[in-house]
Amino acid sequence: MDQTPPETDPYVAQRVKNYLGIAEKVRTGEYFREARSMYDLGVHDPMAERYIYVFVTFIAFTILVISLLGVQSLYPLNTEVQLIVSTRDPYEDLPHIQSLQISKNEDPSEALLRFLTKHYVVVREEYDIQTFDRDVNGVKSQSSDAVTKEFQQFIDPRNPESPITQYQRHSRRRITILSTRRLPPDSMEVLFEATVDSKNDIKKSHWRANLSFQYSGVELDEKTGKVKPFAFVVTSYHSKRLQDVMQE
């Protein structure tokens, strides 16, 4: 039976060739470099990909949280109304919103009317050289032409009773509303206390103010649900000193 010599067997020859090739790579160090590359490809690369996936997942989760917080900040859907507040001490005086209604069953239109009349009396009767121009403009904006003319004559420095003549820069006159009473048909009686602060002393007195007005009232727009523009104009104003308050 014929046998093919080992050196002529193609399978054996290929194995010998492979062994020789591996031996050559071991001798030159290429075998170890290829082994390291295969290890990196099989072990390190998947680990790096996992880290990338973790980082991408973290970024996506962060974006999701920020988006949810942004959407949550939109609710409730309230419209912000900016208000200008005057104060002498912005660090100590904290503005707050208070309901104009004395009770829940009170007509909002009447509550607003009471506030407007009280505010009108305060800005008309008080005196502070730093806010005098603002108060004068407030009185003019809510007074009829006749009342505005009377007020202009009253504050004229040539008038001995003018607050400018009496108080100038050395005194202030503060107003505290004591009570209000609605008088038919369109009038209001306001009792208030006037406190004059000067360098030497403090004087208090009680006064009564009677004013007539034109007031449109508060109405809601049925289509938009918003309050319609309202009008408040004082058509007559008179104040009277009742008594001085003795200091204790």
**How many angstroms from the chain centroid is the CA of residue 229?**
23
Identify the domain boundary among 48, 67, 86: 67
How does residue 1 score in pLDDT terms, banded at 50, 70 and 90? Answer: very low
Q: Before 160, cis peptide (omega within 30)? A: no
Q: DSSP string of 110-142?
A: HHHHHHHHHHHHHHHH-B-TTTHHHHHHHHHHT
Between residues 40 and 14, the one the model is more confident about: 14
Using alpha carbons, list the distances in angstroms from residue 166 to 128, 174, 245. Answer: 12, 14, 19
How does residue 44 score in pLDDT terms, banded at 50, 70 and 90? Answer: low
CA dist 131 and 125 (Å) reads 12
Using alpha carbons, list the distances in angstroms from residue 212 to 36, 132, 216. Answer: 99, 24, 13
For the segment 63-76, what is each residue's pLDDT rounded down to a tens digit?
A: 999 999 888 877 77
For the segment 78-98, what is each residue's pLDDT rounded down to a tens digit?
A: 667 777 777 777 777 777 778
CA dist 232 and 116 (Å) reads 8
CA dist 124 and 119 (Å) reads 8
**Domain match, 60 and 177 both:** no
CA dist 206 and 142 (Å) reads 24
Per-residue pLDDT at 47: 60
**Domain match, 135 and 239 both:** yes
**Domain match, 240 and 124 both:** yes
CA dist 116 and 211 (Å) reads 11
Count of C-beta atoms within a 10 Å radius of residue 144: 16
Lowest mean pLDDT among 72-86, 112-126, 131-145, 184-198: 72-86
Q: Which percentage of the chain shows pLDDT scores above 70?
A: 88
For the segment 181-192, what is each residue's pLDDT rounded down to a tens digit?
A: 999 889 999 999
Cβ distance 209 to 189 under 8 Å? Answer: yes
Cβ distance 117 to 139 under 8 Å? Answer: no
71 forms beta bridges with: none
How does residue 17 score in pLDDT terms, banded at 50, 70 and 90? Answer: confident
**Domain match, 146 and 39 both:** no
| Segment 117-130 mean pLDDT | 94
Look at the chain and report how many structural domains it folds into.
2
Residue type at position 33: R
**How many angstroms from the chain centroid is the CA of residue 104?**
26
Q: Which range marks the domain in which residue 140 is found?
A: 114-219+226-245
| Segment 135-156 mean pLDDT | 95
Q: Before 76, cis peptide (omega within 30)? A: yes
Tell me, yes or no, whether 201 lies in a domain: yes
**Domain match, 137 and 215 both:** yes
**Domain match, 233 and 144 both:** yes
Give the pTM.
0.64
| Segment 7-29 mean pLDDT | 72
Between residues 93 and 4, the one the model is more confident about: 93
